[in-house]
Structure 1
Amino acid sequence: MVRMARPRNRDYDELRRALIDAAGRVLSTEGPAALSTRRVAQLAGVSTTAVYSLFGDKGGLVREMFLAGFARLADAFAKIPATEDPVVDLRALGRAYRENALTNPHLYELMFGRPVPEFRPDEAASAEIRPTFDALVAAVDRCIDEGAFAPADPYEVAVGLNGLVHGMCSLELRGALGDRTEADRLWDRALETMLKGLSA
């Protein structure tokens, strides 16, 4: 194992991401019982000192994995260009959500499930991830305001849409939607059905 001192500033982000991704791989492939600072450090090729320096302990590492998953989702949302069509933009959020899940499957279950039973996001973490859902509510609100959707509570509509895309992502990550071509077809059908039911 390579011994490593506290990372230099220019190495910080790269090492932090490597450790988070290594921890996610351990959790998703070996299970929560295998998740330890020693195992994560081993996969990342560093000493446990680096893990402790960046995250404090295993609990801090899990918390940062959780936040990293949502930070990557927020980054994916931020890259979506705005158009004049609110429904097009809402669909783009759904596609970004899906692609983020497929790109980061090792973090997805921690974001929305309880693979580490002892971990529960605290109030600060919950507040930090809230903007990703707020972006969906705002997109729905715009669809309603511009007459693309029938009048409704944007929060309630957003909850339904979130449930749909989360369920589809969970199925796809488990291989239940077939290959990519079949999954694309099923995604299009599910979104089309949902949005048709919301239309004005």
Structure 2
Amino acid sequence: MSPKPGGPEVKARLIEAAIRLLADGGPEALQARKLAAEIGASTMAVYTHFGGMGALVDEVAREGFRRLSANLGKVQETDDPVADILTLALMYRHSVLANPQLYAVTFGQSQPNGQKAALGDMTDEETRQQLGEEGVKAFNYLLRAATRVIAAGRFRPAPEFAVAAQLWSALHGYITLEVAGHFGTDDHGVDHILVPLLITLGVGLGDSLDAATGSVQVSIESWRAKEGNIGT
């Protein structure tokens, strides 16, 4: 028997089905008919719970941010805040590589059926307060990392938001290019692009070359000891 369109579990099942369809078939696969078929319901279920595909895409993006936040929250802080930045970067990368299509929707790079997830201006503090809680929470992990590094004297005094946004820009740009296939396979991109990129950015923000290099080495060695090959 098909689930009732208004059943309390149907909305969550539709979101999970949407994420599976994205992973398996990309944005073209995210259609109301296919979603309904995935959970054994009628297409009316999509409109009952979301009002249309645009709101569904927004909810999928929020779920992407929730998953990213949950993963970033697994990173334990150490007494080396610069090393912690690279560990957050590696966890961020790990999250995206687990389902690149989900995060393409989450960050507005993909528009299933022409529907783009609602985004906001992160540079304006008032607007930032109005953004979805999930996206702000994910960004706040980088914001806290930037605050700790500045407080430790490793980076020169600067607005914490601006520092966090620079870290985010560098990291997300790297991951976007890696997902597109520009940086090879396995650890090649991490070793030859991501690590030097974060060292360069750290030095530019005030750290010494020796200190930044030592910190990222600590992070890489710790990650590999726990997770093995950085790969995917």
In the alignment, structure 1 segments of 5+ residues that lack a partner are: none
- 1:64 equivalent to 2:64? Answer no
Asked if structure 1 preserves the Cα contact closer than 8 Å seen for 2:68 and 2:138, the reply is yes
- 1:18 equivalent to 2:23? Answer no
The C-alpha deviation readout for 1:2-36, integer Å capped at 9, x for no partner, is 83335876x6687245313134237x6353xx532
* Greater fraction of residues in helix: 1
Normalised by the size of structure 2, how large is the TM-score? 0.72
User: Secondary structure at the residue paired with 1:67?
Assistant: helix
Asked if structure 2 preserves the Cα contact closer than 8 Å seen for 1:171 and 1:177, the reply is yes
Change (3 A) 1:120 1:30: closer
Residue of structure 2 equivalent to 1:175: 181
One-letter code aligned to 1:176:
H
The C-alpha deviation readout for 1:87-140, integer Å capped at 9, x for no partner, is 122222111111111012111111222532443527798232212112211210
| Separation in structure 2 between the aligned mates of residue 114 and residue 35 of structure 1, nearest angstrom | 15
Asked if structure 1 preserves the Cα contact closer than 8 Å seen for 2:69 and 2:138, the reply is yes
Change (3 A) 1:120 1:96: same
- 1:127 equivalent to 2:132? Answer yes
Figure out how many residues of one structure are paired with residues of the other and give that number: 194
User: Secondary structure at the residue paired with 1:138?
Assistant: helix
Residue of structure 1 equivalent to 2:194: 187
For residue 80 of structure 1, report the CA deviation from its aligned partner.
0.9
> % of aligned pairs identical?
29
For residue 63 of structure 1, report the CA deviation from its aligned partner.
1.1
| Separation in structure 2 between the aligned mates of residue 21 and residue 82 of structure 1, nearest angstrom | 30
- After the TM superposition, which residues 1-200 of structure 1 pair with which residues of structure 2 at under 5 Å, given as runs? 3-5=2-4, 15-25=13-23, 29=26, 31=28, 35-42=30-37, 44-47=38-41, 48-52=43-47, 54-116=49-111, 117-121=114-118, 126-128=131-133, 129-185=135-191, 186-198=193-205, 199=207
Asked if structure 2 preserves the Cα contact closer than 8 Å seen for 1:102 and 1:173, the reply is yes
Normalised by the size of structure 1, how large is the TM-score? 0.82
